[in-house]
């Protein structure tokens, strides 16, 4: 968990003198005035993407907005969620793990999973520890499956391997059968989610993969077999399959 100290250090490292002065003025506010500062932040601080540090990959205004929402009470946070435009919703979603009472915002987090706005979904799915820590199995599986259905990079999901489960593995098998019947395939790295939950159907799936003409599928099959035989032995070996891949004809 990134601490308030890391937030403060990040802002100090990247803020200009004018930005630092504006942020200090807003931090002295409270309630609705502080919530309004969250809305106004991109007008006063940059949207540059941070390339290093604790919040690498965030934009600077998202870190500033995080700093501004942490002191807000739930009533004002609810208003921000209800009225958020897309970039505000992204910032709020990224902020979820750092709020004083994260579990109170479970419905907001699951709403983000159902969002039709790609950046909002990505903000809950990727690089966000909230789903790992607070989602029940059904909600977790919905998030992972939505990524897979849309050919998104599941290795960016925090907790992907540790929260693998039998229901998810079974659904992946059904999904693979549907795609194979349509002459399509599934991204090879999704099979990393099945070694602990092998059954007759999944064994047959892996044997089919092993006979594929696609080398990525063959590698995935071999990694699953290795993991089944020696649990923990494939840690880091799925890396090769995390690169983007086209949709091949089966």
Is the pLDDT confidence value at 247 over 60? Answer: no
Residue 25 lies in a domain: no
Q: Say if CB 169 and CB 193 are below 8 A apart.
A: yes
Cβ contacts of 112 within 8 Å, gap of 6 or more: 89, 93, 120, 121, 123, 124
Residue 3 lies in a domain: no
Residue 22 lies in a domain: no
pLDDT mean across residues, the chain: 95
Q: Say if CB 117 and CB 144 are below 8 A apart.
A: no
pLDDT in tens, 102-140: 999 999 999 999 999 999 999 999 999 999 999 999 999
Residue 231 lies in a domain: yes
Residues spanned by the domain of 182: 166-250
Name the pLDDT band for 3 (thresholds 50, 70, 90).
confident
Is the pLDDT confidence value at 248 over 80? Answer: no
Is the pLDDT confidence value at 249 over 50? Answer: no
Q: Which residues pair with 59 in a beta bridge?
A: 49
Quote the tokens at residue 86.
């897309």
Q: What is the pLDDT of residue 86?
A: 97
Taken as a whole, the chain contains a residue count of 250
Quote the tokens at residue 139.
């909600």
Average pLDDT over residues 228-244: 90
Q: What is the pLDDT of residue 7?
A: 96
- Total number of domains constituting the chain: 1
Is the pLDDT confidence value at 36 over 60? Answer: yes
Comparing 244 with 221, which gets the higher pLDDT?
Answer: 221
Name the pLDDT band for 4 (thresholds 50, 70, 90).
confident
Average pLDDT over residues 217-241: 95
Residue 121 lies in a domain: no
Residue 239 lies in a domain: yes
Is the pLDDT confidence value at 15 over 70? Answer: yes
Name the pLDDT band for 176 (thresholds 50, 70, 90).
very high
159: left (phi over 0), alpha (psi -120 to 50) or beta: left
Is the pLDDT confidence value at 246 over 90? Answer: no
- The residue assigned the tokens 């799915």 is 125
Helix (H, G, I), strand (E, B) or coil at 49: strand
The Cα 44–Cα 61 span in angstroms is 9
Running DSSP on this structure, what letter comes out for residue 115?
-
pLDDT in tens, 43-101: 999 999 999 999 999 999 999 999 999 999 999 999 999 999 999 999 999 999 999 99
The Cα 51–Cα 39 span in angstroms is 24
Residue 185 lies in a domain: yes
Residue 244 lies in a domain: yes
Q: Is the pTM of this model over 0.95?
A: no
Is the pLDDT confidence value at 191 over 90? Answer: yes
Q: What is the pLDDT of residue 198?
A: 97
The Cα 225–Cα 214 span in angstroms is 17
Q: State the CB neighbour count (10 A cutoff) for residue 225.
A: 18
Name the pLDDT band for 244 (thresholds 50, 70, 90).
confident
């Amino acid at each position: 968990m990134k601490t308030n100290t890391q937030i403060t250090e990040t802002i100090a490292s990247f803020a200009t003198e004018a930005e630092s002065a504006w942020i200090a003025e807003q931090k002295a506010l409270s309630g609705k005035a502080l919530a309004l500062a969250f809305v106004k932040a991109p007008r006063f601080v940059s949207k540059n993407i941070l390339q290093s540090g604790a919040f690498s990959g965030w934009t600077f205004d998202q870190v500033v907005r995080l700093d501004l929402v942490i002191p807000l009470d739930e009533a004002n946070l609810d208003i921000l969620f209800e009225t958020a435009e897309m970039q505000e919703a992204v910032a709020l979603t990224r902020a979820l793990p750092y709020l004083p009472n994260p579990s109170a915002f479970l419905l907001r987090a699951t709403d983000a999973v159902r969002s039709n706005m790609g950046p909002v979904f990505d903000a809950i799915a990727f690089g966000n520890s909230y789903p790992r820590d607070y989602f029940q199995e059904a909600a977790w599986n919905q998030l992972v499956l939505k990524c897979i259905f849309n050919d998104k990079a599941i290795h960016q999901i925090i907790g992907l391997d540790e929260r693998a489960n039998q229901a998810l593995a079974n659904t992946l098998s059904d999904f693979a059968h549907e795609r194979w019947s349509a002459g399509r395939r599934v991204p090879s790295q999704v099979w990393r989610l099945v070694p602990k939950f092998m059954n007759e159907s999944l064994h047959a799936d892996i044997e089919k993969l092993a006979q594929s003409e696609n080398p990525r599928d063959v590698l995935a099959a071999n990694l699953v077999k290795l993991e089944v035989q020696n649990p923990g032995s494939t840690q880091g070996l799925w890396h090769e399959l995390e690169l983007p891949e086209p949709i091949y004809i089966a």
